[in-house]
């Protein structure tokens, strides 16, 4: 069975922007997971966060980001009933989480991912599968 890694919006942005301080760490982490045969999963909410900036820029930026995600990611995961239920539980158990953070972690839970790759150090305290980019 192929292992899954959930990728957050901060990691996608770091991959996309070579001037981002996390760029090299993001590239190295994704190369490692792809070499291991891991399936990369992006919650639709994380994709939406990335696309906000693209929509503010140009239609070309939107197409470019979507193409980049299509080429890299095996699955853009919708927020279905199972994700919604897991999100609600996380928000009750960890009231300081934002909705976006809870949706990210819930997606990890629902798809049975081995890891969540993020730029958000707050999430390490919530789930042992969280790996924060350092670079």
Q: How confident is the model over 52-98, as pLDDT tens digits?
A: 989 998 888 899 889 988 888 878 999 999 999 999 999 999 999 99
> Where in the sequence is the domain holding 117, given as residue range(s)?
4-132
- Work out how many domains the chain is built from and give that number: 1
Give the burial class of 52: count Cβ atoms within 10 A of its Cβ; 0-12 exposed, 13-18 middle, 19 or more buried: exposed
Q: Check which CATH number belongs to the domain holding 117 and give it.
A: 3.40.50.1010
Q: How confident is the model over 103-114, as pLDDT tens digits?
A: 999 999 999 999
Percent of the chain with pLDDT over 90: 81
Tokens 């981002």 -> residue: 20
Torsion angle of C-alpha atoms 113, 117, 121, 124, degrees rounded to 10 = 20
Q: Could you tell me the two tokens for 75?
A: 């699955």
């Amino acid at each position: 069975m192929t292992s899954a890694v959930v990728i957050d919006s901060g990691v996608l942005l770091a991959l996309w922007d070579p001037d981002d301080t996390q760029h090299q760490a993001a590239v190295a982490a994704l190369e490692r997971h792809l070499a291991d045969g891991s399936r990369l999963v992006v919650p639709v909410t994380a994709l939406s966060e990335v696309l906000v900036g693209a929509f503010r820029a140009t239609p070309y930026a939107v197409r470019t980001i979507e193409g980049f995600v299509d080429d890299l990611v095996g699955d853009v995961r919708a927020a279905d009933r199972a994700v919604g239920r897991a999100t609600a539980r996380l928000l009750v158990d960890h009231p300081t989480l934002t909705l976006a953070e809870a949706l990210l972690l819930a997606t990890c839970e629902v798809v049975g991912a081995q890891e969540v790759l993020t730029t958000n150090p707050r999430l390490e305290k919530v789930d042992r599968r969280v790996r924060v980019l350092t670079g």
